[in-house]
Chains A and B, each alone.
Chain A
Amino acid sequence: MRKALPVLVVLAAILGIWWLAVAPMNIRIALDGAERSGAAVVPEGARERQEVSVWALMARNPDLVPLSYAQERPRLPTPGQVATEFWDTTGAMALDGRAMSRRSLLFHAWITLQSTFWGFLLGTSLGIAGAIGIVYSRTLNLSLMPWAIISQTIPIVALAPMIIVLASQLGIEERGVPKAIISAYLCFFPVLVGMVSGLRSPAAAQLDLLRTYSATPSQGFWKLRLPASVPYLFASLKVGIAAALVGTIVGELPTGAIRGLGARILIGDQFGTPLAIWAALFMAAILAGVLVTFLDLAQRVTLRRMGLAEAAR
């Protein structure tokens, strides 16, 4: 409870600011709509109102301000509208037995989750393998690391369409594959950097100790470097899974895809349904939260089993 309180306070503040922002954001379209349906609006005419600030419009039409909170296609929906849309496309549909219908956010979240999972798996494997290479090979240390850093300076939105085009050129029909690759592309870097630090974390004396036992390099890896890197691994996995999710959603944007949260956001934009965009955004955020929480749990269990939970405290 003591932990939850600050979180709830911040959440309440965000919702409050959001709710207050709805009126100025929507007042113009609210007044336009009211005028069309015959209400008296000051000043008259949409063009005239362009010259007047939103604050003045609100002050001069106080009776019409509540309309800002009831727009069908608002510039900024209210928290309540988003919550309703979210429920209508998730829980309500699930209760109807249509959880996996194409109109259901759960269906799109499931599509995104699959690609995220494969991208995470691929990116994590590449990151760990790369880190081992960098730590054990001087050549790779000098050659791979700069490329890993450069790879992250290329905007993923620029790269994503190329990967998708390339994949279809190679005859890969399954749209999940390029999505997973884009996801892995974002995910491998934090894992690589974290694991390099982790594998290098043992002190010189610990490495010397192994030398006095004439330990082989592979014994040094399995008995010292790898266990020492586990706390670092989990820290990077948490960053990595969030990056993998972002990568998947970006990968769903330019494809003309019709499935996945990214596609849902793009379609919502094209068809002017902001509520759908917002609901998809929230679904993505919830998904990220669940994934990170899951890894956090795995971290706690693992570190406790290794006896590291208390040592790290």
Chain B
Amino acid sequence: MTGDMPTPAGSMGAPVIAAEGLNLTFQTADGPVHALSDVSLAIAGGEFVSFIGPSGCGKTTFLRCIAALEQPTGGTLSVNGMTPDAARRARAYGYVFQAAGLYPWRTIGRNVALPLEIMGFPKDEQDSRVARVLEMVELTGFEKKFPWQLSGGMQQRASIARALAFDADILLMDEPFGALDEIVRDRLNEELLSLWARTGKTVCFVTHSIPEAVYLSTKIVVMSPRPGRITDVIDSPLPKERPLDIRDTPEFLALAHRVREGLRAGHAYE
């Protein structure tokens, strides 16, 4: 049960993630809440897609729908051509939460091995995979450390390694750097880009930060609340090679401006 990864659908031209008229309504004590309203989106293999919008715009909910952590109440959603449930069982994605959520009683190495243990990888393969993904996130030598011995940024890198450990080709990231300070965040953004370039994974990235979204993405999805919906989808004209100082170029600033306008337009609805 080791080598058979889900086939990357992107190579066939078919979208890896396809949502069509997706709706999700939560029934609460204060009446129904429209978390997602008529969301349609296609994400091709190898894309880096950011979801940006104010709280309540449904960006996290959409991510959770892809991960089959929420059930849409209407519309269709496919992941790798399967239902989200089937995709999860096929280990289609790794999920990174805002909090690193490492188990304090496990060392970094054992934390990264957690999904491998659960999925039943043999012991020696667990070890080699842990070593490989820890190297990818530059945490080699920290296998034996406990989470409390690491900084917040290093803990989040370990949690990314954990999501990479079983070779899913989709990475779902829910504000992974939201709790980190600006400097650490810049560094991790850079590392994430190079990781993405090396692995060719499809990344769905939820964020509050306009510069972060513009810097990272090949596609920026601007969302708006009440009801949660997509107001703009921007294909980034920026090159794939992105040094940090690309953020001072006119192209970058123009893109950031368009995202900001999109967010403002969403708010004008109220």
Other-chain contact of A219, B104, B118, B148 (Cβ < 8 Å): B118
B69 within 8 A of A: yes
Stretch at the interface among B1-9, B94-102, B197-205, B248-256: B94-102
Write the chain A residue with the least CB distance to B110: A307
A311 within 8 A of B: yes
A213 within 8 A of B: yes
Assess the B88–A308 pair: CB atoms within 8 A.
no
Write the chain B residue with the least CB distance to A210: B118
Assess the A206–B118 pair: CB atoms within 8 A.
no
In the assembly, what is the distance between CA of A113 and CA of B68, in Å? 54
A307 / chain B contacts, CB cutoff of 8 Å: 104-107, 146, 148
A214 / chain B contacts, CB cutoff of 8 Å: 88-89, 91, 118
Other-chain contact of B146, A208, A219, A230, A310 (Cβ < 8 Å): A310
In the assembly, what is the distance between CA of A51 and CA of B132, in Å? 91
Write the chain B residue with the least CB distance to A230: B105
Other-chain contact of A205, B99, B103, B147 (Cβ < 8 Å): B99
A166 within 8 A of B: no
Chain A 272-313 per-residue mask, 1 if CB under 8 angstroms from chain B, else 0: 000000000000000000000000000000000011101100
B117 within 8 A of A: yes
How far in angstroms is the closest Cβ of chain A from B3?
A: 18
Within A182-213, the residues touching B (CB, 8 Å) are: 203, 205-206, 208-213
In the assembly, what is the distance between CA of A206 and CA of B69, in Å? 12
Assess the A227–B101 pair: CB atoms within 8 A.
no
Assess the A208–B88 pair: CB atoms within 8 A.
no
Write the chain A residue with the least CB distance to B168: A212
Write the chain A residue with the least CB distance to B85: A214
Assess the B95–A209 pair: CB atoms within 8 A.
yes
A219 / chain B contacts, CB cutoff of 8 Å: 118
Other-chain contact of A224, B67, B95, B103 (Cβ < 8 Å): B103
B184 within 8 A of A: no
How many A residues have CB within 8 A of the partner chain?
22
Given A205-B101, A206-B101, A227-B103, are A212 and B67 also a contact pair (CB < 8 Å)? yes
Assess the A223–B95 pair: CB atoms within 8 A.
no
Other-chain contact of A308, B69, B105, B114, B118 (Cβ < 8 Å): B105
B95 / chain A contacts, CB cutoff of 8 Å: 208-209, 212
Other-chain contact of A209, B97, B106, B146 (Cβ < 8 Å): B97
A215 within 8 A of B: yes
A208 / chain B contacts, CB cutoff of 8 Å: 69, 95, 97
In the assembly, what is the distance between CA of A208 and CA of B174, in Å? 12
Given A307-B104, A307-B105, are A213 and B115 also a contact pair (CB < 8 Å)? yes
B179 within 8 A of A: no
In the assembly, what is the distance between CA of A311 and CA of B104, in Å? 7
A212 / chain B contacts, CB cutoff of 8 Å: 67, 69, 88, 93-95
Chain A 173-185 per-residue mask, 1 if CB under 8 angstroms from chain B, else 0: 0000000000000
Closest 7 CB pairs of A and B: A307-B146, A306-B105, A311-B148, A311-B104, A212-B95, A205-B97, A213-B118
User: Would you list 28 pairs from A and B whose C-beta atoms are within 8 A, ordered by A residue?
Assistant: A203-B99, A203-B101, A205-B98, A205-B99, A208-B95, A209-B95, A211-B68, A212-B67, A212-B95, A213-B114, A213-B118, A214-B89, A215-B118, A223-B114, A223-B117, A223-B118, A224-B103, A227-B103, A227-B105, A228-B105, A306-B105, A307-B105, A307-B106, A307-B146, A308-B104, A308-B105, A310-B146, A311-B147
